[in-house]
Amino acid sequence: MSFRVIPCEQGSEDWHRARAGVITASMFKVARQRVNGLNEQQQIYVDSILKGMPELEARNVAGYKAAPKAESVQRALKGLKVGDLSEAAKNYAFRCAFERISGEPMDEGFETWQMARGHELEPEARDEHQIQEGVLVERAGFVVTSDNVFGASADGLIGAKGGSEYKCLVSAASLRPVLLEANQADFMDQVQGCMWITGRDWWHLGFYCPQLRAINYPLHIVRCKRDDAYIDAMVEDLLEFKAEVDRQEKCLRALAAANAPQFAQAA
């Protein structure tokens, strides 16, 4: 995977323009969202069969009296994709397609207060990280694949093999799983996506909470290793998502093509 780094301040006009039309790591989780897939019982059955378990044993493990006949199960057993893109994923695909055509961000650089807060506190988080871990973090701006399809706003690159991402969470619902339950699942698509795009082997995921200086713990660091199996599954989903972006872009361009004779006649 070859990539290039676009030097820019995150949140700046140049940064928003660089991201326009690019499928970004921060949205990989949305891009992978599916609906009408297998339920938990069906997934257990399919996984058991695909692992080579005898059919009767697989049924017992999944809790079936008879083999499930649902079309989705049959497709999964054949190794075919199950489920459709969610509405959120389709809307994000439309946004990417629209921005490919316009070359400008569809939301005109709109920024939530959470995003603004993150950009404001990021330098503090980076400084704390460098002190705590004894590393030198190089600011990266926006990293994009050579074909300009996928990108990531890497908060930092460390040496030749590492990188960093900083989160400045504020709600109990988002902080409790991270700090007390070691649950970072919501961020793994972004982190593994950054490693995929940059070719790095490890990533430091930092959760910066300046309020916790009261207990001398303002930065919670999670050390993530590259997981190629995870990345392979993610890339398969992302390529399917890219195909949807391509399809929607083609449909948008077809609107103008269909309208062209009318303009010619009017002229």
- pLDDT tens digits for range 199-226: 999 999 999 999 999 999 999 999 999 9
Say if residue 165 is in the same domain as residue 76.
no
In a domain, 265, yes or no: no
- Closest Cα to residue 200, out of 107, 245, 134, 137? 137
In a domain, 266, yes or no: no
pLDDT at 97: 98
Say if residue 29 is in the same domain as residue 46.
no
Say if residue 49 is in the same domain as residue 163.
no
Q: How far apart are CA 17 and CA 36, in angstroms?
A: 35
Q: Domain holding 178: CATH number?
A: 3.90.320.10
Say if residue 171 is in the same domain as residue 132.
yes
In a domain, 44, yes or no: yes
The domain total for the chain is 2
Say if residue 153 is in the same domain as residue 218.
yes
Say if residue 181 is in the same domain as residue 51.
no
Q: What is the mean pLDDT of residues 18-26?
A: 96
In a domain, 139, yes or no: yes
How does pLDDT run across 154-192, given as a tens digit for each residue? Answer: 999 999 999 999 999 989 999 999 999 999 999 999 999
Q: How confident is the model at residue 36 (pLDDT cuts 50, 70, 90)?
A: confident
In a domain, 168, yes or no: yes
In a domain, 259, yes or no: no
Q: Go through 36-73 and write b for each residue having 16 or more CB atoms within 10 A of its CB, e for each that does not.
A: eebeeebebbbebbeeebeeeebbeebebeeebeeebb
Q: How far apart are CA 8 and CA 12, in angstroms?
A: 7
Say if residue 129 is in the same domain as residue 63.
no
pLDDT at 183: 96
Say if residue 116 is in the same domain as residue 225.
yes
| Residue 214 DSSP symbol | G
Q: Residue 162 pairs with which residues in a beta bridge?
A: 158, 202
Q: Which domain holds residue 48?
A: 37-82
Say if residue 64 is in the same domain as residue 166.
no
For the cut 60, the answer to whether the pLDDT of residue 105 exceeds it is yes
Q: Is the dihedral of CA 105, 109, 114, 118 positive or negative?
A: positive
Say if residue 121 is in the same domain as residue 162.
yes
Question: Could you give the 3-state DSSP secondary structure of residue 183?
Answer: coil
In a domain, 10, yes or no: yes
Q: What is the mean pLDDT of residues 113-132?
A: 85
* Residue 83 vs residue 104, higher pLDDT: 104
Say if residue 41 is in the same domain as residue 21.
no
How does pLDDT run across 188-205, given as a tens digit for each residue? Answer: 999 999 999 999 999 999
Q: Is the dihedral of CA 244, 247, 253, 256 positive or negative?
A: negative
Q: In the chain, pLDDT over 90 holds for what percent of residues?
A: 73
Say if residue 126 is in the same domain as residue 54.
no
CA distances 103 to 96, 97, 197, Å, are: 10, 10, 22
| Contact present, 140 and 165 (Cβ < 8 Å) | no
In a domain, 104, yes or no: no
For the cut 60, the answer to whether the pLDDT of residue 112 exceeds it is yes
